[in-house]
Structure 1
Amino acid sequence: MTYATIMVSLASDQPNESCLAIASEMVERFDARVVGIAAAEFSPPLYFTSGEQADKLIEQGRNAVKTRLSELESEFRKVMNRGTKHVEWRANMEVPIRFVAREARAADIIVIGQSRDSAFTDPFARVNPSDLVVQAGRPLLIVPEKADWLDLRSVLVAWKDTPEARRAIVDSRPLLRKAKDVTITEIVEDGGSHEAALKRTNDVVTWLSHHDIAANALVPEESSTRDAAASLDSIASSVGAGVIVAGAYGHSRWREWVLGGVTQHLATESTRCVLLSR
């Protein structure tokens, strides 16, 4: 199993340097083809007018979007045309989440920049990773803005005995195979058994060994779900993790999906690259 096709999603309203740097490194590590993707749509202002003035405003707005998409393509090709075997660009004028989620069928993994102000992400200018992980059916590698390389010296897998975590560890196997150290950790829920958590994580370690991936289990004696995000960050720091692998969890509300606290933290606030899968 490998990442044969890596897709990198670019935003039109925030820097893409880190995202492109990580994607370029992954392309080289996995000898993969790369697909750059971007979409944007003109959003008329709330004080929208009518008639000839409105038509002019719409035309100017759409032309600005076209120009920005062309700039993103140039930015993408400038980074990726340095010896990459197969480079492809896809862009469209539509709501970004719709376009990227639809085109995700062409990729094994999607590299995307972190949206720190998730609640204020402009849906007409970029894809919110929290939305994409629910809709894409592909793992995401979420890149913090200040990341400049893919640190695989140590990878931390945040285990939870759920379908999402099992899917995430399967999706991350190519990455884990490149890592120097892999740690499987579980945060024991209030009232949960440390011994049972250790048994579960050791099962995962054994399973990985049959895929030629060496790992170790780490279940802290004192951990709590009351501040699971802080506990996970603390564990990541203690093992020097450069990447965190996790399942994406949440719950549904009427016509929307709301990510849980730890998943939202990983998607929007982590200082490390995060592989999320659902």
Structure 2
Amino acid sequence: MIKTIVVHVDGSAHQDSRLRAAARLASEHDAHLVGSAATGISFADMALLAGAVSPPSPVVDLDALRAGARRRLDDFTVQAGRLGVASIETRLAEEDTAFGLLLQSRYADLLVLSQDPPRGSAAPSTPRDLPTHLALHGVRPVLVVPDSYHDAPIASTIVAGWDGGGCALRAIDAALPLLCRADAVKLVLVNPDTLSGLHGEEPGADMALYLARHGVAVEVIVERTQATAGNALATVARDSGAGLIVAGAYGHSRLREWVLGGATRELLERTPAPLLLAH
């Protein structure tokens, strides 16, 4: 069940699409919508500022940062109400944006944010690679909404990537409330022969049966292609007019920093529809 949704609030031009997606899901699932805004200054930064002998350059006006975040949250409340959301709450995080969202998402079923915008067009409080960071470090699924989204049904046709792995399984389980509502679910396997040990004799059959027992109208699609897995999923989604893509967020540690695998990064950059990720 989806009963609590956290949406990133930064007041940027990219906020409209993600708020529309979050509001639609909140209304369809009778869920509580939480708008989360951050000052952009972490507790550690504030401690350093408090102990500084001389003012930092440029001077950080914490009161102005708080006031700006509160204004964004007030605007969010008005916008969410206009979109028909019945249960709304706002949270102001005295933190950097990524940590504040990670903290709030612990107590929610879904975290909604936008694709990385072009350089120079993000709000000052929104760091680059925010979807990457939250997808790999968070404990809840992340819904990444492209700017092209307006108000289309999300759980109409859904494309779900399946490779037999744990990340894909967690993404499908996280999306189950949406999959059960969908008119059609396309379970897409890309070149499954290379992972035959994970799929069994009939690739996709066991997962399709699992979903069917939950009442999901599922169809298995096997793509044997020279294209990358990310491009293959995006193409199926585009050709079928899907309202949602579900995929595992794959990453690996490089010098103790999490970085995304190629397929996940491709989907984040080029998804034609809202993208639900879980790691």
Question: Separation in 2 of the partners of 1:119 and 1:215?
Answer: 41
Question: Separation in 2 of the partners of 1:65 and 1:111?
Answer: 23
Q: What's the CA shift for 1:23?
A: 0.8
Give the TM-score normalised by structure 2. Answer: 0.85
- Please name the residue that 2:34 is paired with: 35
Q: Give 2:143's match in structure 1, choosing from 138, 141, 144.
A: 141
Instruction: Give the 5 Å matches for 1:1-278.
Output: 2-41=1-40, 54=56, 57-59=59-61, 62-82=62-82, 83-117=84-118, 124-126=125-127, 128-149=130-151, 150-188=153-191, 191=194, 199-220=202-223, 222-224=224-226, 227-278=228-279
- Please name the residue that 1:47 is paired with: none
Question: Separation in 2 of the partners of 1:198 and 1:158?
Answer: 18
- Please name the residue that 2:49 is paired with: none
Q: What's the CA shift for 1:236?
A: 1.7
Question: Separation in 2 of the partners of 1:232 and 1:189?
Answer: 13
Say which SS state the counterpart of residue 150 (structure 2) adopts.
coil
Q: Could you tell me which amino acid in structure 2 is paired with residue 145 of structure 1?
A: D
Contact map agreement 1:116 1:269 (CA 8 A) in 2: no
Question: Separation in 2 of the partners of 1:179 and 1:118?
Answer: 35
| Runs of at least 5 residues in structure 1 that lack an aligned partner in the other structure | 45-49
Question: Separation in 1 of the partners of 2:271 and 2:140?
Answer: 20
Contact map agreement 1:41 1:124 (CA 8 A) in 2: yes
CA RMSD of aligned residues (A): 3.0
Question: Separation in 1 of the partners of 2:119 and 2:271?
Answer: 13
Identity %: 29
**Structure 1 runs of 4+ off > 4 angstroms?**
50-56, 117-124, 189-193
Q: Could you tell me which amino acid in structure 2 is paired with residue 255 of structure 1?
A: R
Q: What's the CA shift for 1:128?
A: 0.4
Q: Could you tell me which amino acid in structure 1 is paired with residue 163 of structure 2?
A: K
Q: What's the CA shift for 1:119?
A: 11
Question: Separation in 1 of the partners of 2:68 and 2:55?
Answer: 23
Give the TM-score normalised by structure 1. Answer: 0.85
Q: How many residues align?
A: 268
Q: What's the CA shift for 1:124?
A: 4.2
Say which SS state the counterpart of residue 161 (structure 1) adopts.
coil
Contact map agreement 2:141 2:174 (CA 8 A) in 1: yes
Contact map agreement 2:159 2:233 (CA 8 A) in 1: no
Q: Could you tell me which amino acid in structure 2 is paired with residue 235 of structure 1?
A: V
| Cα distance change, pair 113–190 in 1 and its aligned pair in 2 (3 A) | same
| Cα distance change, pair 191–267 in 1 and its aligned pair in 2 (3 A) | closer
Of 119-128 and 26-35, more deviation after overlay is shown by 119-128
